[in-house]
Amino acid sequence: MAEKTIKSLEKGINLLFLFDANRRVIDVKDMASALGLPLRTTYRFVNTLRKRHVLLLEEGTGRCRLSPRLRRLIAAIEESGDIARLATPLLTDLAWKSGETVQLFVLSGDDGVLVAVVESPHTLRVGPRTGQRVPLHCGAGTKVLLAYRSPEEWDAYIRRSGLKKHAPNTVTDPETLKRQLRRIRRTGFVVTHQEYVLGARALGIPIVDPTGTVTASLSVAGPD
């Protein structure tokens, strides 16, 4: 019984993670597809969250949005500490010690968003920009974020994204990608080469909070 409760909570949290600045309103059918869940099961999650005043459901349309109550909670969390601001001293130290560009990514929908970057002190370097969005199947920092989602979410992402090719070594085969994601979960890191940026290599690792949840990823990237 305890195991079922934990899985149910995880699915409910994953549902909330579908919302971001670019997806403020989501149809329940799209939620079901994204989570790899039956529509009836998804409606049960939505109704439970609605009863707890976490979600608002537009009757007759199946469209959901976050409630004002949850938005106030999010604002309080943001005020208590910004991950990019807190991480910048570490990123700076790592950039100088490694001589490469160090990046911090967080998950946002089907992308990893670069929320902090400290560039290499060398003239020859990769040049990412803060706020850049990178598909989850491309590159070290974003692939790590995808790896620590559920296998059902892997399949849903593959269906939605089509694994578009962006550089010579972008992984476009679903089974190859899933093997790589399983390897990341076993080893705790990934090294990529020319998956999103031509001529760039990168190392990616997850950042885990005290509860064991992967909240962000760290990537060290440089030119060949």
Residue 148's pLDDT band (boundaries 50, 70, 90)? very high
Q: Kindly tell me if the per-residue pLDDT of 80 is higher than 50.
A: no
CATH of the domain at 207: 3.30.450.40
DSSP state of 126: -
pLDDT at 91: 85
- Of the residues 74, 101, 119, which one is the last residue of a structural domain? 74
How confident is the model at residue 121, as a pLDDT?
72
Q: Are 205 and 221 in contact (CB under 8 A)?
A: no
| 88 CB burial (10 A radius; 0-12, 13-18, 19+) | middle
Computed over every residue of the chain, the mean pLDDT equals 84
Domain that holds residue 59: 2-74
Whether the pLDDT of residue 18 is over 70: the answer is yes
Residues 135 and 186 reside in one and the same domain: yes
The count of structural domains within the chain is 2
pLDDT of the residue at 200: 86
Give the SS3 label for residue 210.
Answer: coil
Does residue 217 share a domain with residue 142?
A: yes
Question: pTM score, two decimals?
Answer: 0.64
Both 128 and 110 in one domain: the answer is yes
| 169 pLDDT tier (thresholds 50, 70, 90) | very high
In this predicted structure, what is the pLDDT of residue 161? 92
Q: Going by C-beta distance under 8 Å and a sequence separation of 6 or more, which residues neighbour residue 69? A: 53, 54
**What is the predicted pLDDT for the residue at 122?**
66
Same domain, 204 and 130: yes
Residues 68 and 97 in one domain: no
Scanning 99-203, the segments in alpha helix (DSSP H) are: 140-147, 151-161, 174-187
Assess whether 108 and 61 both reside in one domain: no
Is 198 found in the same domain as 117? yes
- β pairing state of 111-118 and 63-66: unpaired
Query: What local confidence, expressed as pLDDT, does residue 172 receive?
Result: 96
Domain with 50 in it: what CATH number?
A: 1.10.10.10
Inform me whether the pLDDT recorded for 5 exceeds 50: no
pLDDT value at 166 more than 70: yes
Residue pair 95/124 in contact (Cβ under 8 Å)? The answer is no
